[in-house]
Every structure is written in C-alpha cells, then in structure tokens.
C-alpha cells in the first residue's frame, strides 16, 4: 500500500486537519454509544504527542447542505472530552474566520458538521481549498467515510501532505490481510436479508474465496433457485436467476458454496415462537425459515476449522430474536476460539455483523471488527475507495 501513516509525518508545530467519524447515535442531546469516538483517541493523542495541533473534521447525519441545529457536532463534545480526558474547543463552522478563530496551538478543536455545506458531498474544490487553509497536514482517520468522494475525505487529501490515522491504518492493514493477500484457505460468511443488496459482493467473493457460506434471508433465495420450496420464508424470487448465475460462477472458480441443508422453521417471527428443525427440502408451506439448522452449523464449523482466514459479513439467521440466533452464535464462537488459539485470522464488518458478534460474545476475540458499514462492503466488493486512493496518490 502506498499511503503514509502518522509515523511518516513531521507534525511538530503543524496544524493537522483530522477527518474522523463522529456520526454516533444521540438521544435527547446525549451520545448513547461512544464506540466511534473511543476509536479515534489513539490518533488524536499521537498527534498531540508529536507536537501537532489536531483540528477535527466530521459529519453528522444528513443535513443536505444546510445548517440544522439538531445535527450540530456541538452535542458530541461531552463524550469526546470524556474519551480524551481533556477540554475540546469548538468552531461554529468548518471553514473561514469562525473556524480559524477557534483553533489554538497544542489544543484539540472540533469544527462544525462538514455537511452543513452543500459543497461537502459534491467534493467542491472551493470548499476543499477553504478547509485546507486551516491546516498544514491532512490525516484521514475515518475509513467509514472513505467510500465517499467528499471535500473532507478526498478533496483535502489532494491539497495537503496526507496520511492515514491509527484507526484508518489498522483497518486497511486488516482488510489487506483478509482479502488482498490472505493466507489460504480463505472463507467468507455472508448473511443478510436480500441478495439484491449484496450482489456485487457475492459476485466478487466467489472469484476470491475457497469457501462461501450464505446465510440469513438471502440463503432462501439461493434455495429457491435450486428448486426448493421455502414456504413463507423471506426470499427474492425475482432474483433466483441471478442466484443461479452466482452458483455457476462459483463452480467455475472452484469456490465451494455452503447453503443450509437443515433449517429451523416457525409459523411466526417472534420471540419464543414454536419451532422445529427440518431438512431443507421439507419446509412446510405455511412456515418460514428463520435460522440455519444444527447439522448445517456443524458443517460450517468444520469448514471454518479447515481455513486460515475468515471474512464475516451478516448473520446466519434472524439473530435478533431467540432462539433464531443459535446458528450465528455457534459459528461465531467457534471462529473466536480458533482466533484465540492462533489458528485463524478473522475480520468482520457491517452493522448487523457487529451487533450479532457482540450478542454472541465473540467480537472481542476476532482479529479485527470494522465499525464501518458501506466502506467495508465496498472494499469487499473490490471497489476503489476514493478516500483511500487519495492517500495513495
């Protein structure tokens, strides 16, 4: 990779424009989950230790180029101050005199929501120039926004000496290890509701992995494509032709696709619903498939244990409601055990994935769990991320 890290930059006395992800959940003006804030702390502290002045740039919500008080970054300051253990200065704009007046050498400054300017999402050159005037060095620590060619993610990187922050560097190295140059055999677990939302991902993975597990609602579409009656299960019957094409591509590439051979079915998607395990060919027409069955889980676990690298995106069943989380929990816990034992490199990402792995008490033992959603998926789809490409320029 051709990008530089903080270790490659001279920061003493420099103003460091630092793109971070502060798009955190807020209720009644208070941050309810500070995970993304906590993850930028190493970068901010390292900049300070190197004699730099961190100037934080971030977006919050979708204000569509207008100043929306409810989407002001001012409300994240208490959580940011708690994470960093120091006071934070605030600039009421991200460009111009108001921003410049807030900055003090050796202190941390948070500037207002970049998306209050319509030029941010348009990657407007004038806005990027105005931002660049505030700093000497650009540091991107927001991998989660790297799939967007915005003024604060792509434009700035081309106007100042640029580098990746600690979180960005960690993420890029983990993904390169998992998909760029993995130790084989390589396995991917892909779950979720719809094939249509992960079509590019599946098409890319069948050419790159040795084993591909398909779970969740999208597995039902593949089962239907094989002529199996999935009853009232969530399935995209209009995508069965596409599913057959993916199965054919996997065959040609020598990629083994693992679909459920037994399933957990119920008449209703609700907690404690009466359910039973049946062979996949015997799904009753009045019932729905809500989880992968135990025999299939054992087959998945056996495949995981034969691999050296695992990429995970999406649950194997309707994990939000017990008992339909059992397949996801069992497979995730085995992947976590193998990782702890040094037998597996495991990288996971995507919103539902992080939630599912946390519920399974497995996330802390994975090699790397990405907090990025869209950027993680686009990387797995084989796409070039503008925010990363700009760092490599």
Catalytic residues: 36, 194, 351, 374
Chain position carrying tokens 């253990």: 85
Q: Which helix (H) or strand (E) holds 248?
A: helix 240-253
Say how far apart CA 105 and CA 119 lie, in whole Å.
Answer: 28
Return the ∠ at Cα 157 (arms to 153 and 162), rounded to 5°: 125
Question: Cα–Cα distance between 323 and 290 in angstroms, integer?
Answer: 9
- Which residue, 300, 223, 227, is CA-closest to 265? 223
Calpha distance 62→114 (Å, rounded): 10
Residues 322-347: b if buried by 16+ CB within 10 A, e if exposed: ebbbbbbbbbbbbbbbbbeeeebbbb
151, two tokens: 């003024």
For 291, the enclosing helix (H) or strand (E) is: strand 288-292
CA–CA distance, 178 with 247 (Å, rounded to integer): 23
Number of residues assigned to the chain: 393
CA–CA gap between residue 389 and residue 16 (Å, rounded): 20
Give strand pairing partners of 88.
Answer: 108
Task: Yes or no: say if 105 and 133 are a contact pair by the CB < 8 Å rule.
Answer: no
- Distances in Å between the Cα of 126 and the Cα atoms of 11, 107, 152, 300 are 25, 27, 12, 52
- The SS3 assignment for 287 reads coil
Please state, in angstroms and rounded to a whole number, the distance separating the CA atoms of residues 3 and 89. 30
What DSSP element (H or E) covers 89?
A: strand 88-91
């Amino acid at each position: 990779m051709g990008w530089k890290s903080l270790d490659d930059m001279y920061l003493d006395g420099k103003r460091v424009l630092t793109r971070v992800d502060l798009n955190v959940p807020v209720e009644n003006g208070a941050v309810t989950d500070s995970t993304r804030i906590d993850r930028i702390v190493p970068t901010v502290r390292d900049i300070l230790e190197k004699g730099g002045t961190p100037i934080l740039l971030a977006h919050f919500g979708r204000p569509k180029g207008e100043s929306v008080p409810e989407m002001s970054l001012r409300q994240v300051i208490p959580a940011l101050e708690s994470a960093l253990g120091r006071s934070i200065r605030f600039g009421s704009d991200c460009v111009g005199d108001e921003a410049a007046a807030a900055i003090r050498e050796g202190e941390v400054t948070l500037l207002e929501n970049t998306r209050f300017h319509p030029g941010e999402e348009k990657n407007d050159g004038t806005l990027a120039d105005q931002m660049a005037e505030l700093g000497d060095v650009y540091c991107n620590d927001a991998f989660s926004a790297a799939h967007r060619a915005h003024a604060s993610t792509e434009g700035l990187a081309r106007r100042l000496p640029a580098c990746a922050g600690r979180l960005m560097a960690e993420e890029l190295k983990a993904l390169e290890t998992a998909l760029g140059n993995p130790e084989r055999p390589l396995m991917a677990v892909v779950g979720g509701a719809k094939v249509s939302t992960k079509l590019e991902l599946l098409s890319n993975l069948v050419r790159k992995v040795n084993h591909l597990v398909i779970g969740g609602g999208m597995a039902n579409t593949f089962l239907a494509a094989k002529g199996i009656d999935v009853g009232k299960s969530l399935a995209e019957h209009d995508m069965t032709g596409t599913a057959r094409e993916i199965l054919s591509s996997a065959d040609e590439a020598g990629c083994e696709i693992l679909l459920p051979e037994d399933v957990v079915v119920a008449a209703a998607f609700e907690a404690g619903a009466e359910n039973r395990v049946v062979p996949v060919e015997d799904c009753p027409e009045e019932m729905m498939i809500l989880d992968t069955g135990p025999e299939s889980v054992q087959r998945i676990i056996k495949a995981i244990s034969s691999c050296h690298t695992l990429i995970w995106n999406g649950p194997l069943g309707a994990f939000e409601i017990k008992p339909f989380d059992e397949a996801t929990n069992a497979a995730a816990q085995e992947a976590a055990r193998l990782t702890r034992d040094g037998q597996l490199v495991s990288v996971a990402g995507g919103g539902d994935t992080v939630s599912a792995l946390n519920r399974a008490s497995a996330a802390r033992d994975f090699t790397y769990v990405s907090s990025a959603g869209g950027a993680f998926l686009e990387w797995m789809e084989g796409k070039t991320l503008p925010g990363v490409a700009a760092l490599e320029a």
